[in-house]
Chains A and B, each alone.
With several copies, the nearest count.
Chain A
């Protein structure tokens, strides 16, 4: 199945809103760190419901905020969730970004980057599209150190890239970024039941759930375009 087919189904199921709710737990911290100045142009890669764009407009007074997604249904839904005239959506693929050189000040991506068919090339594309000195904030829950995520590939038809922390740093550098930061951003909002309630439907032990959310959380890699 293609990205379009897979994620059109998700959008039709309403999974865009479910993801927004769960991802917000860590994405809000990531977005807060971005050095976006009032009036600057931001890009959200694999925007889903588009919540990141709405947040950057509200909290940082971003100028124009564009969301790219490979799923027309995701983009259609996202467009309905806002009537902010400075927020716009584009259907497109990570590997061939339809944006001019240096046209974006800062880019963000949550739980989407690893779906790129050629992630090294996607990073090169980002380094081309983001102006020198602009940032790419790349946030993922699916990565090598998060052993609890390894099985996710089984439930999805699109091939996923599972880099570790240092593979992310190396790939950023190879593509033309300076690496400015890498961090595990904990999910402090998800409720973790008391020990007596384990095993739950999803978690064998409380320790595993604590490790997944509070310790590993979301892997953030921040690149600055050279």
Chain B
């Protein structure tokens, strides 16, 4: 994902902001990392450049 995606993403649970933590990036994309709900504390993984924002009960880690 490009960092600009952060402009429109939010926590699916309560629509609050997300914080970005990057583990790996290439020239213009974040490849691995996580998005953390600033209110819910929920952790959403970024894998192979794609953020997974399924509600936690629908996700399969």
A binding-site residues for B, Cβ under 8 Å: 2-4, 41, 64, 66, 70, 72, 75-76, 79, 85, 88-93, 95-101, 103-104
Residue of B nearest to A95 (CB): B55
> Is B12 a contact partner of A103 (Cβ separation < 8 A)?
no
Give chain A residues whose Cβ lies under 8 Å from the Cβ of B12.
Answer: 92-93, 96-98
Q: Which chain B residues border A64 with CB–CB below 8 Å?
A: 4
Count chain A CB atoms within 10 A of each CB in B8, B12, B48, B55 and give the residue with the most: B8
Shortest distance from the beta carbon of B9 to any chain A beta carbon, whole Å: 6
Binary interface profile of B, 1-39, with partner A (CB < 8 Å = 1, else 0)?
Answer: 110110111111101000000000000100000000000
A60 to B9, alpha carbons, bound, how many Å?
23
Given A88-B2, A90-B5, A100-B15, A75-B60 contact (CB < 8 Å):
no
- Which B residues contact A (CB, under 8 angstroms)? 1-2, 4-5, 7-13, 15, 28, 47-55, 58, 60
The CA-CA distance from A123 to B18 in the complex, in Å, is 23
Whether B54 contacts A93 by the Cβ 8 Å rule is yes
- Residue pair B54, A4 in contact (C-beta under 8 Å): yes
Residue of A nearest to B16 (CB): A100
Give bound CA distance, A101 to B1, whole Å.
20
With contacts A72-B50, A90-B53, A91-B51 taken as known, whether A98 is within 8 angstroms of B4 at the C-beta atoms is: no
Residues in A with CB closer than 8 Å to B10 are: 98-100
Q: Which of B8, B9, B48, B51 contacts A76 (CB 8 A)?
A: B48
Give the chain A neighbours of B50 by CB distance below 8 A. Answer: 72, 75-76, 79, 89-91
- Of all chain A residues, the one with the shortest Cβ separation from B51 is A90
Contact, CB under 8 Å: B15 / A91: no
Contact at A85–B28, with CB atoms within 8 Å?
yes
Instruction: Kindly state the separation between the CA atoms of A104 and B4 in the bound complex, as whole angstroms.
Output: 14
> Nearest Cβ in chain B — how far from A157, in angstroms?
15
Question: Can you report 26 residue pairs joining A to B where beta carbons are below 8 Å apart?
Answer: A3-B58, A4-B58, A4-B60, A64-B4, A66-B8, A70-B54, A70-B58, A76-B48, A76-B50, A79-B48, A88-B2, A88-B5, A89-B50, A90-B51, A91-B52, A92-B52, A92-B53, A92-B54, A93-B12, A93-B58, A98-B9, A98-B10, A99-B9, A100-B8, A100-B15, A103-B8
Min distance, Cβ B20 to any Cβ of chain A, angstroms: 13
CB-CB under 8 A from A101, the residues of chain B are 15
